[in-house]
A and B are shown apart, each in its own frame.
Chain A
Amino acid sequence: MTGYRLPQGGRINRERSVNFFWDGTRHVGCQGDTVASALMAHGERIVGRGFKYHRPRGIMSAGVEEGGAIVSTGRGPERVTNVKAPMAEIREGLEVFGQNAFPSVRYDLGEVNNLLGRFFSAGFYYKTFFGMLGRGTWEWMQFEKVIRRAAGMGRASDKPDPDHYECVHDHCDVLVIGSGPAGLAAAEAAIAAGMDVILAEQDFKLGGALLTGMAGDTVEGQVADAWLDAKINDLDGKGRIWRRTTAFGLYDHGVVGLLERVTDHLADKNSLPRERLRIVRPGRIVMATGAVERPIAFGGNDRPGVMGAAAAAAYVHRFAVAPARDVIIATNNDSGYRSAEILGRAGLRTILLDARDTAPEAGKAAAEAVGVDVRPGFVPVEAQGSRGVHSLDYGLWDGHNAHSTRRRGIDVVAVSGGWTPVMHLISHKGIKPGWNQELTSFVVEDTGQEPVEIAGAAAGQFDTQAAIEAGAIAGDNAARNLTGKRRRKERGPVTGWDQPIEPVWEVKLQDRKLKSFVDPQHDVTTEDIRQAHREGYISVEHMKRYTTLGMATDQGKMGNIIGLALMAEAAGQSIPETGTTTFRPPYTPISIGAVAADQRGKHWRPTRHTPMRAEHERLGVEFVDAGFWKRSWYYPREGEDMAKAAMREATTVRSGVGVVDVSTLGKIMVQGPDAAEFLNRVYSNPFAKLPVGKARYGLMLRDDGIVFDDGTTWRLSETDFFMTTTTANAGPVMVHLNNLLQTRWTDLKVHFTSVSDHWGGVAVAGPDAREVLKSASPDIDFSNSAFPFMGVRQGHIQAGNQKIPVMAARLSFSGEQAWEIMAPADYCAAMFRTIERHVSEAGGAPYGLEAMDCLRVEKGHVTGRELDGRTTAHDAGLGWMFSEKKPYIGRVLAGREDLVRTDRPQLVGLIPVEDGKTFRAGSILFPEGEAQGHGLGHVSSVADSPTLKSWIGLGLIEGGLSHWGDKTVMARNPVDGVDVRVKVVSPHMYDPDGGRMHG
């Protein structure tokens, strides 16, 4: 008989039944059960399938290292795959499904793969790439679909995740990871030293090895359970205790990533997030992360019923579930005796095989006292039973092979091949462990510069009392470090075993091969390891990748050491010479949803709105994304699409007046007695003598002479300048200015402050702009003489009986007579409403980004599409802005030979030769009839010009206008290959002498 609930014991609540579903069948568990313990109590043996061979798998552990009972939970978009059954709490109504199987894990058609096992050995994928017939790609293409369909474990939902998650930032003095004896002692010591402590435990109960019974019946003279309860009570309220919280990664500067499972165990989630990503910045960290019991490789060691010895004890002690009536425990170390004692005490018929010739006296006595049959000198050879163990062949161990085998009918083989300290977190930081022969494990002796203490089983201190003392020392040392006390206490040595461990990695027979697994999760066998070595994978890291040993969710928890030992044996070298692999975060799988937290959907990036948003929406605007900004794109009227609306809006500006929101421009206040000098050094054109009340268009270069940004700067006083930048470069320009001030010109008295959000603005453009503004702003004289081009004035917009303070500058991006009006942001809605009313009364209209782009293309004004990080001022036709009388950033390198070549791509206008033809931005320009290679240049911007009654474009072409003026070239769309003949013209296709702008 396999699996049943014991009549007494356990840390479960028998009064609270919990209904859950296993592959659609209702089961009943108890509050405090995991999926694994509840399934075991129901006698379910097959709960998973192997990755490649689809061999049936049962419950193999009682923790995160589980390699067999990997299931899916939930249905539809709530489905979660690759859930370790021993870590999943049952809840009312929980649906649990087997995965990686069809139609079910009990009867899986994929098991046919087991018959083809010889073809699926190590390097199967790689060899498929190469191919058997030297036609690797062709062969791979034949198999790809089948392989892809079969690959992977579990099937994630392709629907949006209906759950929500959150990210929380926490700080503390000492973060203790793990709540076993060492962790509890560490937390207690750190709290006693006055530290602010967080104790994080991945389980839903505190206690670690105390819960499983492996820490002993008594601790410090008390019954173990009472000791644990007392410690928890002592800590309560003195520190933050986080259950269900796994520390999954250790990062730079001691930042620790933790994942808290908030609602997976709750039938009613209320408003809580499913998971909480906690990013903790502790002063010091105590790793009391325990150890994982290792398996031993023997024949059929993946069959349902083969599990860890301590895991079997844990199910009995903690969950009051017996894995079976008849159990064989196979061990090579003292801990197997404690497991046997727990099972024997629960009334299970237990045989203990010890690979060592001599049993430890105390352990043997305790086990035999509860009826355990102790048999030293024996090892497991091969488990029998295709759908679950029904018998075990075991034999005498001679240090290399087994012989004199015999068979025993049993239901469960519980194995302890030693213990591996859990040191994944410190491994994430690249700290290498050293080999400890006494424990036959890797152990971290020195954490280097990392703010980490290691204590308890994680440090190889397997004795409970030693772990408690080490934990207390670690907690105290953490506090000493943070309080500046120099003297640290020694953490104590590894404690090892009363009787030395017998290294048993693999049990072999001399007369035949056994199918023995090293990593059950990835179906990696002992033969795979040897094959990898035979095929030249002599580096342990290469072997790992070739065989997939310890990769993915396992991260070396189950079979890493065995794999290394077999690799060492094959190479004829020692394990430390072979080395170990580096563990990667996350320690256990974490949801992508938790990483994204609230930054998903609409909030995957922030959105910026101008202060006139409500007014635009009132007018029925369509917004377009421009970086984080939502910019007004166009204002459609009935029956208009974007093209028609933009055409109407552009026409309105040319013929009357329009108003556009320009709030997204970067705005920087440059203040100080050296502000003019600073600007004079930054811009390529002169600024030192810009008069107060005037603005100037400025060109900013990078150090390498390429154009960085352009914009206007308004001089408001002798020491105050209002700089505008392009929308895209607002941040980079601010960084650039501060960098110059702080590193090169530290003697200048200048302050920069972003005022991009303090000020909002509009541009009023068109032949009727002056009249509109005269009525909107009676206290500013907009006449040509009083307010000349590039003039700056201050005054008010009259909104009914109230005034709005504004700054105005006469500038034009459209090529029409135009003014930019800036107001403090909270007044901008009122300002826009007022001006838009005056514009409408004058027959004008608001216009958006699409029309604005059309107007500037007609005029030949450049934007980021032309100034794309490769363009010089000469290329853009702005070489006249280079001052010859002063130094400025980028001047020297702008004169490099390559940047002043006359055959560089230069800005030109483009018009189709044939009426009605259009071409796309991004088209490549070729000489007619020579459409090959990289071409002569490209089209950067296009527009449907209402003024020129033609499709037009701007582009950069080698030699520019002087070489190609009035000639015809081909614009080829590289996507669809369509060619359009275009004539090269001046980029200033509209009002080239600026008469309308200055009028």
Chain B
Amino acid sequence: MAGTTKHSRTAAVQQSQRGTEEPPFIKWTLIAIALVFCFIFLLLPLVNVFVQAFSKGVVFYWHSLVNPDAWAAIRLTLVVALVSVPLNVIFGLAAAWAIAKFEFRGKSLLITLIDLPFSVSPVVAGLMFVVLFGLQGFLGTWLDAHDIKIIFDVRGIIIATVFITFPFVARELIPVMQATGTDQEQAALTLGANGLQTFWYVTLPSVKWGLIYGIILCNARAMGEFGAVAVVSGHITGQTETMPLRVEKLYNEYNAPAAFAIASLLAVLALVTLGIKTWLEWHQAREFAKAQSIMETPSENSSKTA
């Protein structure tokens, strides 16, 4: 009797242990599927970009890049990123601060609005600006009368890019700021610091990593954006052509090696972004683990109430 009880219990224990783990063949099948998928759809095309770029040799590759039109496209892309990223850093900080630290009416509406660029197709976003600022648009006549050019101009490209990339910084900062709370800021105030000092010495350092991460993602998208920029730019070679637009134009002109040469620059940018992102995540995880391992004692213990 006792023997059977013991036996059935061990069987139950074994079963429960097995219950949490899949058989090995499922594990390996899943890993294989993931790897094959990554290889075919990610790694292979990436390698292909570089193979194509160098298909006519290093000299051709170099000439494709230093060609005046290509050079203009690279410069324009850098200018657009240099303007739109700082704008979105300011906007992202302000929005994240407002959402994380204050309670106000319409807060959830603001959060939804921040996400809007993610949910609107970039082409539609571009068209929105054409409708707004174009000659036939709402503000078109007024802008034309004052000789302000937005559509088919660098200004339009910057506006479209700002719109497309504005969720990145705010999205990264909101959860970080919400998690930090307002205690540290309040402590700074009780120690005599004014608002600006509090922001500079306390708030900004505490969201440093989230901010850097947001800036990197924002920058990658700002340099790589195609859809919205394509609609507002007008594709004027040497003037309103960014790198992604240049790639498309060269490809349509059957100049694949030159197209891939510029594409390879964007691919390198993507790889660098990915590298920095991975490094940041690793760094944060390490800091977190360090903090966890050291603070073993303090536990939130609910104290007795009388």
Instruction: Report if A and B associate in a common complex.
Output: no
